[in-house]
Structure 1
Amino acid sequence: MGPQGARLLAVVLVLGLCAVAGAEKPSPCQCSRMDPQNRKNCGFPGITSDQCFAAGCCFDSRVPGVPWCFNPLPQQGKEECVMEVSARRNCGYPGISPEQCAARKCCFSNIIPEVPWCFYPLSVQDCHY
């Protein structure tokens, strides 16, 4: 590898480290509300909880046979709206607007078709790392 290749490799490594260092630790609900069977690996064998959180991932070593460092649930506008799609309980009707849903004090997300878009929030008291 020539000098230009070494410089390019150094730049790529620095950018990669900056991206990892700039990752935000997920919220407790983004981690604890994930069904262990649905976890997608986000780490490597032997990763520590600090390394996992620094990469913006969740860490939970209490369940054997599933990834301990895993991708979090998507962030929502309100913490009580973070949940797996299977946990949504319908709070609206077909065609409800975000404003109408909010007037019912419910959560709204229309990203995934054929699931409730307006759904009841969950208490954040059960969220933990």
Structure 2
Amino acid sequence: MTENTPLWAIEEGSSSQSQIPRPPVEKRRNVSLACIECRQKRIKCSGTTPCANCTAKGCQCFYGSDRRRKAHSIESSMLHQALLYTVVKLRSGNPDTVRSFVLQIRALQSARDGTSFLLSESRQDDQAV
């Protein structure tokens, strides 16, 4: 093979590189929550306790709470409560109560208004009990 030989002209298997075994490639693992130290330094965290970076540097490794997940969890819980309230209200058996409740929901302008309405109704009902 000469220096001027184009790459497309080299036959497979004739190159010395094809005979060199390649180490297996490890798939990169995504960590959902980095430790405080890695987050501050904006470096990849291994997600272990202690993480590889903190072990190498000899610093304390601790994980804080993820505020985004906590807020999402609270919102999800509140929506679940509103949904349960709606089901109970619709299954109440009193046709006038159900009709009035459905008309109130239909009169709302948006889904966000509906969510607010159901949350406030479920809170009022909880306070009355």
Which protein shows a greater Rg? 2
Could you tell me the TM-score, scaled by structure 1's length? 0.22
